[in-house]
Structure 1
């Protein structure tokens, strides 16, 4: 018997649980002014709290969104945007109870997928989450110029704070979920993403590209970071690009051209860019662009395995039967036939056996089944099956999320 209870939070518990999450993540104490700016983003639905003597000691938060999967389908998903436990209650089963309650609630609601960005990589695999996309940190050193023909014209303009808040939600929606792994940004996402960053303290600015057809088709959020020191007072500014989204490669290239043209900038840097973004070959000098790190980005969880497998498309080749084990959601356990014509339950014998977190790693196409089998994450029954699964799950475009939450 536990000495705490897990239940959905109420509206009155939004601020205490947000403060609890901030403490767990070692964030500065939130002021009333800041809460007024972002509080609407911390809505009670989708949040489960752990309570001892009616005081919050743990929280898991999520909001409803949608996610693009290979083939172009868009599925209902939950973006898990905060998990934390009070320091004196850790290692006592609180996170397990919270995550279990959240996942069972999502399953009852018919949510296909859940996703998160992991603060610690060792935590979420045991809850069925697997690394489903990667992100690259890129640095472009001055002087750097784009090659002729990399972008198709148009114009770039800077928005003031009010314009950015008014225009970016509709622009992101118009850009669309054109890569597997991209998620929709509901209205409650924008206040916490924009209000603090566009404030004087946040220091971010927004540039928008208008295409030759007169329609806005890309935007970038960025800020200047002073790199000068007493030993190097003339060192130029670092331009940190937080969010760069575009409807097509030409519009994205136009924004990179603009960012690289800003005066007194020594380096342009951005984290969690698509690993396959062709930055170096966009430049006249490809050595100006460097990928300094590739790290895990979006972690995915199939809440409804049958529905999620049936929703995406597959490459050509012979079918593969997967036997899936799911400790937290037993309804997902079973064997699934995956082939060019789709996926569904089967009574046929298994070719490959794997857990829910490994299936999540395969789902968007980021990982090859043969690689995961070599790592011991897949039990191989038919030696020919990993190669067949590689072909089935391969995607023409590498998955990418591109949204912080």
Structure 2
């Protein structure tokens, strides 16, 4: 019998569990003034805690949002935005107990999918989460002028902190890219994930907005980090972009033109861009832009496999019968016929077998079936079946979320 209890938290336990999460990630809990700024983002709803003698020792939290899937439809999604275990309670089953309770709660509440950003890559696969989108870390060394003829009309203006907090949420809501993997940013997301940085470091973070013929259509949040030293006093700073979204190519080009024109800056760094980001093609010298890393971004978990499969569209190919295994949610186990005309449960022989985490990797179109088979994630498939699977699940653009939580 365990000496801890796993249950939903109460409103009175919001602050202690938030502090626990911050400490588990090796941070310092916020002072009262800063806590009040993010308090509305950390409610008891959707948060499961582990408790020993009434004290929190673990937290697994989430909030509701929606996910864009291939074809443009949206699915209700549980966004897992904070998981942590107190350092003296790790390796004792606390995390597994919380994740099991959370997944069954998601199923009970009717979420077809859940997703998270993983602090450690070895943890979440065993709970059925798979890497569904990837992100690029890029560096652009100045000078880096744009090519002649790049469409970059419009203007860019800088916002004050108050203007940014007021303006950017509505602007983001208007910019529906339709890209698989995109999520809605609910009201509770902004105070803790966007506004927090605007108040940090003495207000060093800035927000630039691009305005085109039809109004505001893009924004970038960034800050500047000095790189000069005693021995190199004239070295330019690094401009670091933390959030960049544009409704159209002209707005994207206009924002890059502005960011690359900021004076006294030697290099522009950005993490979390789509792997098909075109910034290098915009430059007169494309070598000035380098992708210096590609990392996992959104880890997706299919809670209701039939509902999730039915929500997206598929390419033109002969159907494939998938045999899906799910250790934690056994109701998902079964065979599914996936074709351009839709999805149905079937008793037919399977063309391939895979676990639910691998199905999540295929789901948004971010991976091809061949490498997944080579790694042993897909079994029982021949080359022709893998080609059909790719034709069905492939998407026109690479999936990307672009929102951290």
Q: Under a length normalisation based on structure 1, what TM-score does the superposition of the two structures give? A: 0.98
Instruction: Give the equivalent residue in structure 1 for 2:240.
Output: 240
**1:107-137: CA deviations, max 9, x gaps?**
1111111111100000000000000111111
SS state at 1:198 partner:
helix
Per the alignment, residue 364 of structure 1 pairs with 364
Equivalent in the alignment of 2:293: 293
Whether the 8 Å CA contact 1:325–1:332 is kept in 2: the answer is yes
Whether contact under 8 Å (2:152, 2:257) holds in the other structure is no
CA shift in 2, pair 1:153/1:22, >3 Å:
same
Superposed CA deviations along residues 249-305 of structure 1, whole A, max 9, x for unmatched, are: 211111000000111110011001010011111100111101111111111000110
| SS class of match (2:199) | coil
Counterpart secondary structure, 2:398: coil
Distance 2:246 2:382 in 1: 43
Query: What are the within-5 Å matches in structure 2 for residues 33-112 of structure 1?
Result: 33-112=33-112
The residue that corresponds to 1:211 in the other structure is: 212
Residue 5 of structure 1 is matched in structure 2 by 5
Rounded Cα–Cα distance in structure 2 between residues aligned with 1:217 and 1:243: 14
The 2-side partners of 1:244 and 1:309 are apart by 30
- Large movers: runs of 4+ above 3 Å: none
The separation in 2 between residues aligned to 1:40 and 1:328, in whole angstroms, is 32
Mapped partners of 2:55, 2:299: distance in 1: 30
Q: Whole-Å Cα distance in 2 between the matches of residues 389 and 292 of structure 1?
A: 31
Q: Distance in 1 between matches of 2:29 and 2:60?
A: 19
Provide the TM-score with structure 2 as the length reference.
Answer: 0.98
Could you tell me how far apart the structure 2 residues matched to 1:382 and 1:13 are?
53
**Could you tell me how far 1:381 is from its partner in structure 2?**
4.4
> What is the alpha-carbon distance in structure 1 between the residues aligned to residue 177 and residue 396 of structure 2?
15
Residue 374 (structure 2) aligns with: 374
The residue that corresponds to 2:229 in the other structure is 229
Answer yes or no: is the 8 Å Cα contact 1:106–1:303 preserved in 2: yes
8 Å contact from structure 2 (residues 368, 390) kept in 1: yes
CA distances 1:141-166 after superposition (whole Å, capped 9, x unpaired): 11001113323411111111111001
1:2-401 mapped onto 2 (5 Å cutoff): 2-199=2-199, 201=201, 202-213=203-214, 215-401=215-401
Following superposition, the deviation at residue 383 of structure 1 comes to 4.7
CA drift at 1:311: 0.5
Tell me, in whole angstroms, the C-alpha distance in 2 between the residues paired with 1:335 and 1:6: 33
How far does residue 67 in structure 1 lie from its aligned partner after superposition?
A: 0.6
* CA–CA distance in structure 1, aligned partners of residues 150 and 305 of structure 2: 41
Following superposition, the deviation at residue 194 of structure 1 comes to 2.6
- Displacement of 1:195: 2.6
Deviation, 1:232, is 1.3
Partner deviation per Cα, 1:39-95 (whole Å, 9 max, x = no partner): 111111110000111111100010000010000001000110111001111111111
Computed over aligned residues only, the root mean square deviation of the Cα atoms, in angstroms, reads 1.0
Contact 2:181 2:364 in 1 (8 A): yes
The 3-state SS of whatever aligns with 1:397 is: coil
Contact 2:117 2:298 in 1 (8 A): yes
Structure 1 residue 200, shift from structure 2 partner:
5.4
Task: Provide structure 1 residue ranges, at least 5 long, that are not aligned to the other structure.
Answer: none
